[in-house]
Amino acid sequence: MSFTKQMQAMVELDELPPQYRLASPRRALLRALLVALLVGAAVITTVVIIRGSEQATVETSLLIESTPSGATVAVDGQELVEPTPTRFVTAPGARHEIVVTLAGHKPFKDAVVVPDAGGQLRVLAFLPAATVRLRVLSTPSGADVYEGDQLLGRTPLDLRELSPDAIRTIDVRLKGYLPEPRTLDWGGRDELTVDVKLRK
């Protein structure tokens, strides 16, 4: 039997020697104090055990978010199943190469090192809208460049900060020459030059 339980048994069974026995009110107070000490010790022990257990089971992971969300994530070249926001389980001290991509936006690339203490590391990828540059040249110059019925300008024409989906076809026209339609194929490029030789 533990010392604490022995003390409790002695108090409850009045096994204290006569010279240590107290009057009834004082005995009740002593019992209350002993019970309070026992409860306090039990609570402290429980808290220590729970905290130790929580620390032992802390998951080490990367929380990968993006603006805008719904982007594809690759960690060390391996594509994750879930789009952003998504979680990747790792290990303390690990180093990872992260690539976040979304159609119509510039990709995000970064290398992160997980702290030795583990836990969760948040990675926020900002994905600005992708823009392209279109240059249209013609021989002879001074030709009108149309997208449908909209006049974009005259050659030599330099259009910047365009969305790659904004312009798909153009029509180069000059009085006295045949119109020259062109379909634009960006092919992942951010700049495209169209050089047109007009025919009569």
CA distance 97 to 77: 8
Q: What pLDDT shows up at residue 56?
A: 47
Say if CB 136 and CB 145 are below 8 A apart.
Answer: yes
Tokens 């096994």: give the residue: 15
The tens place of each residue's pLDDT in the chain, 200 residues long, gives 554 555 555 545 455 555 555 445 666 777 777 777 777 776 677 666 666 554 445 688 999 999 999 999 999 999 999 999 999 999 998 999 999 999 888 899 999 999 888 888 999 999 988 888 999 999 999 999 999 899 999 999 999 888 877 788 999 999 999 999 999 887 777 888 999 999 98
Strand order in the sheet with 72-75: 78-79, 72-75, 95-101, 108-113
- The reply to whether the predicted model has a pTM over 0.85 is no
Domains contained in the chain, CATH given: 3-56 (no CATH), 61-126 (2.60.40.1120), 132-197 (2.60.40)
Model confidence over 8-32: pLDDT tens digits? 555 454 555 555 554 456 667 777 7
